[in-house]
Structure 1
Amino acid sequence: MPDCLYIGIDFGTTFSGVAWAFSRQPDNIKIVTKWRAKGAFNADDAKTPTEIVYALSGRNRMVRNWGYEIEANQTPLKWFKLCLEDENQLPQDVQKSDQLAAARKMLVEKSISAVDAAADYLRELWKATIASLERELGSPAVDGLPFRVVVTVPAMWSDGAKNRTLRAAEQAGIKENRLCGRTTLDLIPEPEAAALATLAKFRGRPDISPNDIITVCDCGGGTVDITSYKIQNPDPVVVKESVGGDGKMCGGIFVDEEFRDFVRGRVKNRWDKLSPEMIRKIMNEEWENGIKRTFEDDGREFRVTLPAEATQSLFHRSKTSTLPLTGKTVQTLFDPVLGQIRSLVLKQIGDIKKKEGKPPKCIMLVGGFGRCSYLYTALTKILGTQGIAVLQAAGEEPWTAICRGAVIRAMSTQGYAGAGGVTITTRVSKRNYGLAFYEPFRTYQHLPEDREWIASEGDYFANNQIRWYLRKGVDIATQNPVVMSFYRLCQSSQEIQNNQVTAKIFISEVEGAPNRKTRDVTELCEIKVKLDTPYHLLPRHTNNVGKECRRISYDIEVICSGGLLKFAAIMNGVRQPAQNVEASFM
Structure 2
Amino acid sequence: MKPENMNFGIDFGTTNTAVSRMDGNEPVPLKFGNAQQQYDYVPSVMAIRGGARPREDYGLAAKARIGEPQVEVYQNFKMLLGEPPECVVTHWGASMSKTPEAVTRGFVAALIRQVREEHGIQPSRVVVTVPEVWLVQNLQTKREHVIQAFKSQGVPRVEVRSEPIAAATYYLHRFRQRKGKPFQGHLLVCDCGGGTMDFCLVGVESADGNRPRMTVLERAGNGKVNGHIGSAGVAYDQAVVERLFPELRNRDQTKFFRRVREFEQNKITHTGEVSDLLSIYRESPESADGESLFALADGEVAVEPKHLATVFDEIIAPDIRKAIQGLLARIRTHGVALDRPERFRVLMVGGFSSFYLVQEAIKSAFGSKLSTDQRFEDILSLIDRALAISKGAALLANDLAEVIDTCPADLGVWAMDAVGTGQGPATLAPTRFPVLEKAVRIAEYRQPNWCNKSFVVQNTVDGLPIYVEPIPDKPLSLELNGETLQSILPPGVGPGSKIEIGFSVDADLVFSVHVRDATDRGRAKTTTLGNLMASLPGLLVD
Give the structure-2-normalised TM-score.
0.65
Q: Which runs of 5+ in 2 are unaligned?
A: 224-230, 281-287, 418-432, 451-465, 485-491, 494-502, 511-527, 532-542
User: 1:510 deviation in Å?
Assistant: 7.7
Q: Specify the alignment match of 2:440 in structure 1.
A: 475
**Equivalent position of 1:338 in the other structure:** 317
Equivalent in the alignment of 2:428: none
Shift of the 54–333 alpha-carbon distance from structure 1 to 2, 3 Å rule, reads same
Q: Distance in 2 between matches of 1:468 and 1:85?
A: 35
Letter matched to residue 375 of structure 1: V
Q: How do 1:147-546 and structure 2 match up within 5 A?
A: 147-157=124-134, 161-173=139-151, 176=154, 183-203=156-176, 212-233=185-206, 236=210, 238-241=212-215, 243-249=217-223, 250-265=231-246, 272=252, 275=255, 278-279=258-259, 282-290=262-270, 294-296=274-276, 297-299=278-280, 301-307=291-297, 320-336=298-314, 337-356=316-335, 358-359=337-338, 361-382=344-365, 383-384=367-368, 389-392=375-378, 393-412=380-399, 419=400, 422-424=401-403, 426-430=404-408, 473-476=438-441, 482-484=446-448, 518-519=480-481
| Letter of the structure 1 residue corresponding to residue 263 of structure 2 | M
- How far the C-alpha of 1:292 sits from its partner, in A, is 9.2
**2:56 equivalent to 1:64:** yes
Equivalenced residue count is 428
How far 1:411 moved relative to its partner? 0.9
- SS of structure 2 residue aligned to 1:122: helix
1:359 match: secondary structure = coil
Which SS does the other structure have where 1:16 is aligned?
strand
Contact 1:509 1:520 in 2 (8 A): no
Q: Is the 8 A contact 1:19 1:403 kept in 2?
A: yes
Closer/same/farther in 2, CA of residues 81 and 165 from structure 1, 3 Å limit:
same
Q: AA paired with 1:53?
A: A
Letter in 2 for 1:46: D
Shift of the 168–379 alpha-carbon distance from structure 1 to 2, 3 Å rule, reads closer
* Partner Cα separation in structure 2 for residue 130 and residue 190 of structure 1: 25
Distance (Å, rounded) in 2 between the aligned partners of 1:63 and 1:485: 56
Is there any run of 5+ residues in structure 1 with no aligned partner, and where?
Answer: 89-94, 135-141, 178-182, 308-319, 413-418, 435-442, 446-466, 487-506, 523-542, 545-555, 566-582
Aligned AA for 2:29?
A: I
Q: Note closer, same or farther for the CA distance 1:520–1:52 as it changes in structure 2 (3 Å cut).
A: farther
Residue in structure 2 matched with residue 49 of structure 1 by the alignment: 43
| 2:204–2:215 Cα contact (<8 Å) kept | no
**CA deviation vs aligned residue, 1:241-286 (integer Å, no higher than 9, x gap):** 3632111133111220222112213x97997498468535633443
In the aligned structure 2, how far is the partner of 1:433 from the partner of 1:117?
40
Whole-Å separation in 2 of the counterparts to 1:470 and 1:115: 37
Query: Compared with structure 1, are the counterparts of its residues 157 and 280 closer, same or farther at alpha carbon in structure 2 (3 Å cutoff)?
Result: closer
CA contact (8 A) 1:119 1:171 kept: yes
In structure 2, the residue corresponding to 1:216 is in which secondary structure?
Answer: strand
The separation in 2 between residues aligned to 1:210 and 1:282, in whole angstroms, is 41
Match of 1:81 in 2: 78
User: What's the counterpart of residue 421 of structure 2?
Assistant: none
- Inter-CA distance 78–270: structure 2 relative to 1 (3 Å threshold): closer
Instruction: Say which of 80, 91, 113 aligns to 1:102.
Output: 91
Q: Which moved more, 1:65-74 or 1:363-372?
A: 65-74
User: SS state of the match for residue 483, structure 1?
Assistant: coil
Change (3 A) 1:508 1:263: farther
> How many Å apart are 1:298 and its aligned residue?
3.0
Cα deviation, 1:174-207, whole Å, max 9, x if unaligned, reads 5527xxxxx2111111111111111223338889
Whether the 8 Å CA contact 1:243–1:351 is kept in 2: the answer is: no
Structure 2: distance between partners of 1:274 and 1:5: 40
Letter in 1 for 2:279: D
Distance 1:411 1:335 in 2: 41
SS of the aligned residue for 1:321 comes to coil
Larger Rg: 1
Percent of aligned pairs sharing the same letter: 17
State the one-letter code of the partner of 1:121.
F
Structure-1 separation of matches of 2:467 and 2:54: 40
